[in-house]
Structure 1
Amino acid sequence: MSVKHSYQWTYILLVALYFPVTLFAQQTKINGKVIDAETKLPLAYVSVTFFKSTVGTSTDSRGNFSLKADNAFTQVKISYSGYATFYAPVIPGKTQTINVELISNTRKLNEVIIRSAKRGKYRNKDNPAVELIRQVIAHKEQNRPENNAYVQYKEYDKLQLSLANLSPALSDKKFFRKYKFFLDNRDTTMVPGKSLLPIYLDEKLTQVYYRKNPKKKKNIVLAQKNINLANYIDNEGIAKYYKHLLYDVDIYSNDVYLLSKLFLSPIAGTAPTFYKFFITDTITVNNSKVIELSFTPRNSSDLLFEGKIYITMDGNYAVQKAIIYINKNININFVRSMNVSLDFEQNTNGRYHLSKSNILVDFGLNQNGKGGAIGNRTITIKDYLGDKALPDSTYAGQEAVIADNANKRTDDYWAQNRLDTLTTAEAKVYHNIDTLQTIPSYKRTIALVTFVIAGYKSFGPFELGPANTFYSFNPIEGLKLRVGGRTTPELSKRYYFETYAAYGFKDERWKYFLSGTYSFNSNSIYKFPQNYIRGSFERDTRIPGDPLQFVVENNFLLSFKRGNNDKYLYNDFYKLDYVKEFQSHFSYTLGFRNLTQSPAGSLSFINHVGGVNVNHSSLTSTEATVGLRYAPHEEFYQDRIYRIPIPNKYPVLALDFTEGIKDAFGGEYNYQTLHARLDKHLYLSQLGYADVSLEGGHIFGKLPYPLLTIHRANQTYSFDPDAYNLMNFLEFVSDHYESFNYTQHFNGFFLNKIPLFKRLKWRETASFKALYGGVSNQTAPWLIPVPN
């Protein structure tokens, strides 16, 4: 054999020997999931490496990982700060699944700290972890996305709600067999140890444009799709309120708003005062070195996070990843646990932007982990482009715009443009909910639940209610029975009618109400933006000082009152209103009112003239009104009876002017009334939040007592935030006044630091209300003659 052939055979032999080894190594693959052994929630960014090697990866936001081996390793190491390191055996050359439950060693660490010497006590001074976080804080502004001159990207927002751990045998029960297709649509992959039944899904794809100077952010909704639970439920309102709970997480903000609470960000300016920081590792993520910085609250009961942030080592001190939890000792109603993960990607200019955000919340009535619900919100950002100037026309118009046919996108469109994937259970939920709508028993059940909660029973074009007004009582009318209802959009989206009739068995009088409304747009009159005209007539009783609303609700529970409550008014109230709301959340109201008031019970209209008391049977006033209101960025949850504003940081301004017209439709007085109000919801970080209102009014003209401002009192057993709850009806009246209301919710900031109260999980609320006003000589009731 020649030398040449000898080398060829040697080469072939080496390849033959090496190839199986290489093939064997390439076939070694591990898939798995890492969760907390106690909470069963996924752990993100857990380090997963082959033992005694540099080959490794980290878990994603849902705790999943995938790892390939080029050598015949026999062990994998799973490590995470605050948890005991776990070693799992690996079978070389096989594709295998390894699911791991890590056991927290936080309690053991706390015990060591308690028993250690005082000189080992944690402190900020000369602490390299604190010095690092101070650098992160110092570089916050340059790392914020808003620091770019221009930014554009696509954002996919997925919101899901699932019931947890329903009994698998439920669908086999006779009553639920017809719902088996729905009840068996379970997801066991999202949260290990929990079987999730998706019941709500909301998706939105948005194109976002941002310009720094002049500052403007434009959101164009390209597609949106959500579950239609029922015609009785406001699906859009549910999505808004749900997103309000699972709000956008901006770690660069000093405060993070979640679950209607303010949490201090671990990179807030005051973070070193409230958090402990530890440098726990240096790892490679996406081919770049980052420092793993763990943090934990100094007081475990404060509204603070715990977890890890990963800081870049390129001199920018930017956050590249974050995994955040809430401590189980935090007292938040119906929340067992919460897990937030944030992923950042590097731009072409070297800065980092948020690429994915995932919030997972375990809701429940108790802490045992059984039953309840899982809320999940995932935001995915793609096609991120910074510092590219666009024409001014791109940013013109309203900040939020919905593209044509955004609600009518096909399944093919979503399949091609959805920036994330749906699980098998999520993909089925749209069809399953639509199928439920066709089952008569489901319709009846939803109708019954709606009647109990919202108070209305639908009969197609007309609905009966509200149920809580069917029965009430008071000293003047005695037992009062009432029945009424209103039309629905099934009759018309333009015309609405509402009515009721009531009878008092003690005063033996009929009361009734009738209204008609015409909407100038295709929306319901209860939806934003409103644009309608309404005319109404009401004959009923009311307590002096209670505001005259669209319909005075005779709520059964409000029939129970403390103290003397025998002064009432009979009213004949004619009203005509035009309401116009704009997309900017500015609105105005034009109104015309005619009100005739007659005393009832122990209340009398008496004029003291020349030493003689003269009784008067009634007073009539005719008014023209103009109201202006501005509530920037206001959003609502729409109920069947009213809409509820969702709190935000922006003030709400209202200004009203009323002109009293004598001799018009029986009006007996000329006067002018000016009223202004400012409301503000304050977010105070660790001190909780506060609601502040400033209000003032002035009446110009001579008016008798019943037409002055009778300040709102409360003699019921419920708390009224707008009333003076220790004041009796008719106790205070004025023609000019100023008021200041302040309510502070501390969320346990002080009581959490007192051992006994900390165990009780009490929270503090302080309220201060001040009212200053009086009656001038021109309107003093004892000086004003009442017309005959």
Structure 2
Amino acid sequence: MKFFVYMKYYYLLCLLFVSSLSFAQTKAGGYVKDSRGEPVPFANVLFVNSSVGTITNDDGSFYIETEKSYDALQVSFLGFQTQTIPLEKSASLNLEIILEEEQNALDEIVIYQGKTSKKNNPAIDILRKIWENRRDNGIYKFDQYQYKKYEKQEFDLNTIDSALINSRIFKGMEFIFEETDTNAVTGKTYLPIFINEAVYRVYGNNESGKKKEVLIGNKNSGFSDNQTLIEFVKDLYKEYNVYDNYLKFFDKSFVSPLSTTGINVYNYVLADSTFIDNKWCYKIVYYPRRKNELTFKGDFWVNDSTWAIKKIKLAATKSANINWVRDIYIEQDFDVLNDSIFLITRDHFMSDFAFRKKDDARGVYGKRTTLYDEYAFDIERREEFYENNRDQYIEKVYNRDSTFWQQNRLEPLNNDEQKVYTMLDTLKTVRAFQRLYNIGSVLASGYIELDNFDYGPIFSTFGYNDVEGIRVRAGGRTYFGRNDPWRIEGYTAYGFKDNKFKYGLSGKILVDPRSRLILSGGNRRDVEQLGASLTNTNDVLGRSLASSSLITVGANMSLTNINLSTFSLEAEPWKNVNLRVSGSYRTLESASDEFSLAYYTNEERTKTASEINQTEISTILTYSPGRKTAGYGVERIIINEGDYPRLFLNYAVGIKGPFSSDFDYEKLQFYYRHPWQLGGFGKLTTTFEAGKTFGEVPLGLLNVVPGNQTLFSIFGTYPLLDYYEFVTDTYTSLHLEHNFNGRFFGRIPLIRDLNLRELIAVRAVMGSISDENQLLNASTSHPVLFAPENEPYWSYSLGIGNIFKVFRLDFHFRGNYFDNPDARSFGITGSFGFYF
């Protein structure tokens, strides 16, 4: 499981202990059913003589709220008689509304079952006009643009009741429940617990496609120095454009109601027309054609001349295949510039995070409100302006005074939002909260925080392999703050079978923050599984899962004693471009009598050596476009791990002589990984690797095709290969994995309710090993050097993900090379993870 996944859920859980209240005059909620008692999903509900409305959920439930006073509801749906329901109280929350079928529409209901026609439908005619004009609206109409953006992010603990207030977990913190109110979208009681405000200047060039966002102020409740929290919250709520075909939220691609493919997944109804801000607009109501798809329900108003959106509402259907998120609700408003250009002025996004999707389950509201102002166009800026787009820590940005916020807030905080700032400061002094916060911190980071020192990672405390037996480890790192300019990290370990101590120690210092010039070095003496990945570096504290997995397929004695010392210099001359030059010296020796790294030392092949001594200098270039990071110190946290392409190029030179080094060689390695969001078809991840070693080298310096003898699904490995089954000095590898995100399971009755997700993968590798390197190998039994030279080795996998929301099973099938010793033709691996 990736570290960033832990962090996102950690912050959501921590925010349970730290935002906007609305004083509604009229509230209504309940269920809409037909005469047979069956729920009517996607029915229209609105207050009579108003434009305030909503659409029922999959189960027919609804909630609607407004600050004005109304005394009746109007409920309608295709094929049913419209009902007007009087409201006797200002809060009517348990209504059961029965819709009667229209006499002349009974046959139509049987045929269409609520689905609208794709032909002769005026709503779809309007939708086609939107498609034709969407690229000529808003900021896309100008070559250059700029604007001011104010962003407010809030988290609220919802479903507050006496059982929660009186629970032991909140003992000593009861004061936080003094201010609660009801959410205008869901009707649930909530408690504001966190707020973050940010002001940006945004600049863009439509001709080059470049964009620059400059943060000029940031403030939040209780976490003012926590850039990591701020970045994780921002990543949860990525910006989106409702005109796009797909809207990506929580790593899922939802079909936009304005999509050119929308008519295949949505029903559209022309519901109303009126003047809005002196512009004649049509109201289109839309709802899904099928359950369990990543779709919305809602409505939008569109202008009749520019065909631009004036207002739009989107609510994710409850049956959507997404974990931990019970509701998603979006509102966007657009204003007119120069009588024709519609520009977004307000964007409100709300999500309801919960472990269960039941209405009575407690959760956390995440809300983001973004306001836009001070638009300006066609102010030219040089290309250098956009190229200088490096993240820098400017202390004053996070310490703006009250005058700044009074001048730059595009809407004022209400009374209760202001109280959040003082509430968390008070809460942090409560010991009960401190204990809960510390527990969450340990689970998220894996470290126990002490004074200027973190102990851990605790998840590496115990391990097992056939050489060391049971292995225990203790370690830690210096930690003075998130932006430490230097850091020292180390560990010691002990194996109860080989009765040996191991250790590792490294240090790094940030010399220049602007170029991120970093000096680092260290030493490690340990037992390691070489060949855990094709493309590798001399990471001084790195250790593969293959070296300490508690459960494996068969015995693994092919481990190596390694003594590695490194010194590195790295820099980031351009954003997300990293250049690293390092020197290393290592000794490699078999850790087991049943495994040999021995090689011949003379041409007559009469003398052998069992230990490799090697000095190496490497130059590594890494390019990660789209990568987002948090922190400005010597170490940074990657926010969007797995969501961006990564290109890696390594040129290494082995030097014979210095420090008794044994071999001269050159090594070239290339790695390219790219995740592709394919809209409604899911996510495809492609990985290509290639490499070649020039010169004569022994087994310990060759490229081992990474097998996997564990029962865990490890990306980049070949799960049906044993360690050292294939060894190469020249290789090419391709790995394709596609996650359909439940596209097919979601259309199978009974199975679709399980929200399972189907995956497929194909792996292939081809390589060779020279005769000279074969002759250098002095091993007489294990391993025997063999490369997939005649034809590529390949395998394929079928996977089922999202089992109980946290587990994935992969079924692997070997494609060829069945005659290899102990070849496995079938295998099963699994993995745990918390994913949306």
Q: What TM-score results when the alignment is normalised by the length of structure 2?
A: 0.79
SS in 1 for 2:126: helix
Q: Which amino acid aligns with 1:503?
A: Y
Query: Based on CA coordinates, which of the two structures has the bigger radius of gyration?
Result: 1
Displacement of 1:663 in angstroms is 0.5
Identify the residue that residue 751 of structure 1 maps to in structure 2. 745
Q: Which amino acid aligns with 1:348?
A: N
Aligned residues: 728
Matched, 1:506 2:500: no
Identify the residue that residue 312 of structure 2 maps to in structure 1. 322
| Cα distance change of structure 1 residues 354 and 435 upon mapping to structure 2, 3 Å threshold | same
Matched, 1:286 2:277: yes
Do the aligned partners of 2:540 and 2:565 also contact (CA within 8 Å) in 1? no
1:506-545 to structure 2, matched below 5 A, reads 506-521=497-512, 530-545=516-531
Distance in 1 separating the partners of 2:444 and 2:206: 46
Q: Which amino acid aligns with 1:443?
A: Q
1:96-175 to structure 2, matched below 5 A, reads 115-117=109-111, 122-168=116-162, 170-171=164-165
Of 345, 353, 356, 1:363 maps to 353
Of 685, 688, 691, 1:697 maps to 691
1:314-713 to structure 2, matched below 5 A, reads 314=305, 316-369=306-359, 370-385=361-376, 387-390=377-380, 392=382, 395=385, 397-399=387-389, 405-489=396-480, 493-521=484-512, 530-546=516-532, 548-553=538-543, 558-582=549-573, 584-601=575-592, 602-607=594-599, 615-636=608-629, 643-646=637-640, 651-713=645-707
Displacement of 1:550 in angstroms is 3.5
Distance in 1 separating the partners of 2:114 and 2:186: 38
Matched, 1:198 2:200: no
Displacement of 1:217 in angstroms is 2.6
Identify the residue that residue 219 of structure 1 maps to in structure 2. 213
Distance in 1 separating the partners of 2:248 and 2:101: 31
Of 709, 713, 721, 1:715 maps to 709
| Cα distance change of structure 1 residues 312 and 148 upon mapping to structure 2, 3 Å threshold | same
SS in 1 for 2:659: coil
Displacement of 1:623 in angstroms is 0.4
Distance in 1 separating the partners of 2:597 and 2:110: 79
Do the aligned partners of 1:480 and 1:504 also contact (CA within 8 Å) in 2? yes
SS in 2 for 1:116: helix
Which deviations, in whole Å up to 9, do the C-alpha atoms of 1:734-788 show, x marking residues without a partner? Answer: 11111111111111112222223223322211111111111123433557899xx
1:285-304 to structure 2, matched below 5 A, reads 285-304=276-295
SS in 2 for 1:345: strand
Distance in 2 separating the partners of 1:125 and 1:133: 12
Distance in 1 separating the partners of 2:99 and 2:205: 45
Identify the residue that residue 275 of structure 1 maps to in structure 2. 266
Q: Which amino acid aligns with 2:318?
A: K
Give the alignment's Cα RMSD to 1 decimal.
Answer: 3.7
SS in 2 for 1:277: strand
Do the aligned partners of 1:44 and 1:341 also contact (CA within 8 Å) in 2? no
Displacement of 1:365 in angstroms is 1.6
Distance in 1 separating the partners of 2:288 and 2:638: 34
| Cα distance change of structure 1 residues 81 and 425 upon mapping to structure 2, 3 Å threshold | farther
Do the aligned partners of 1:480 and 1:502 also contact (CA within 8 Å) in 2? yes
Distance in 1 separating the partners of 2:628 and 2:494: 38
Bigger shift: 632-641 or 262-271? 632-641
Displacement of 1:709 in angstroms is 0.5
| Cα distance change of structure 1 residues 675 and 159 upon mapping to structure 2, 3 Å threshold | same
| Cα distance change of structure 1 residues 134 and 569 upon mapping to structure 2, 3 Å threshold | same
Matched, 1:180 2:174: yes
SS in 2 for 1:193: coil
Distance in 1 separating the partners of 2:369 and 2:642: 22
Distance in 2 separating the partners of 1:168 and 1:641: 44
Do the aligned partners of 2:466 and 2:555 also contact (CA within 8 Å) in 1? no
SS in 2 for 1:139: helix
Displacement of 1:142 in angstroms is 1.0
Identify the residue that residue 20 of structure 1 maps to in structure 2. none
Q: What TM-score results when the alignment is normalised by the length of structure 1?
A: 0.83
Q: Which amino acid aligns with 1:310?
A: W
| Cα distance change of structure 1 residues 740 and 58 upon mapping to structure 2, 3 Å threshold | same
Bigger shift: 199-208 or 548-557? 548-557
1:27-42 to structure 2, matched below 5 A, reads 32-33=25-26, 37=30
| Cα distance change of structure 1 residues 457 and 44 upon mapping to structure 2, 3 Å threshold | farther
Do the aligned partners of 1:461 and 1:491 also contact (CA within 8 Å) in 2? no
Identify the residue that residue 806 of structure 2 maps to in structure 1. none
Distance in 2 separating the partners of 1:119 and 1:453: 47
Bigger shift: 264-273 or 703-712? 264-273
Identify the residue that residue 739 of structure 1 maps to in structure 2. 733
Q: Which amino acid aligns with 1:697?
A: G
| Cα distance change of structure 1 residues 408 and 273 upon mapping to structure 2, 3 Å threshold | same
Displacement of 1:397 in angstroms is 4.9
Distance in 1 separating the partners of 2:301 and 2:205: 28
Q: Which amino acid aligns with 2:214?
A: I
SS in 2 for 1:759: helix
Displacement of 1:531 in angstroms is 3.2
SS in 1 for 2:591: strand
| Cα distance change of structure 1 residues 105 and 659 upon mapping to structure 2, 3 Å threshold | farther
Unaligned runs of 5+ in 2: 1-22, 33-41, 56-62, 781-836
Matched, 1:771 2:762: no
Distance in 2 separating the partners of 1:736 and 1:146: 48
Displacement of 1:347 in angstroms is 0.9
| Cα distance change of structure 1 residues 76 and 339 upon mapping to structure 2, 3 Å threshold | same
Q: Which amino acid aligns with 1:277?
A: Y
| Cα distance change of structure 1 residues 753 and 568 upon mapping to structure 2, 3 Å threshold | same
| Cα distance change of structure 1 residues 307 and 625 upon mapping to structure 2, 3 Å threshold | same
Q: Which amino acid aligns with 1:619?
A: I
Do the aligned partners of 2:217 and 2:397 also contact (CA within 8 Å) in 1? yes
| Cα distance change of structure 1 residues 425 and 640 upon mapping to structure 2, 3 Å threshold | farther
Displacement of 1:593 in angstroms is 0.8
SS in 2 for 1:570: strand
Of 729, 747, 754, 1:760 maps to 754
Distance in 2 separating the partners of 1:426 and 1:645: 27
Displacement of 1:464 in angstroms is 1.4
Distance in 1 separating the partners of 2:44 and 2:239: 20
Q: Which amino acid aligns with 2:508?
A: T
Distance in 2 separating the partners of 1:97 and 1:395: 55
SS in 2 for 1:752: helix
| Cα distance change of structure 1 residues 551 and 44 upon mapping to structure 2, 3 Å threshold | farther
Displacement of 1:468 in angstroms is 2.0
Q: Which amino acid aligns with 2:205?
A: R
Do the aligned partners of 1:254 and 1:268 also contact (CA within 8 Å) in 2? yes
| Cα distance change of structure 1 residues 102 and 586 upon mapping to structure 2, 3 Å threshold | farther
| Cα distance change of structure 1 residues 738 and 130 upon mapping to structure 2, 3 Å threshold | same
Q: Which amino acid aligns with 2:299?
A: K
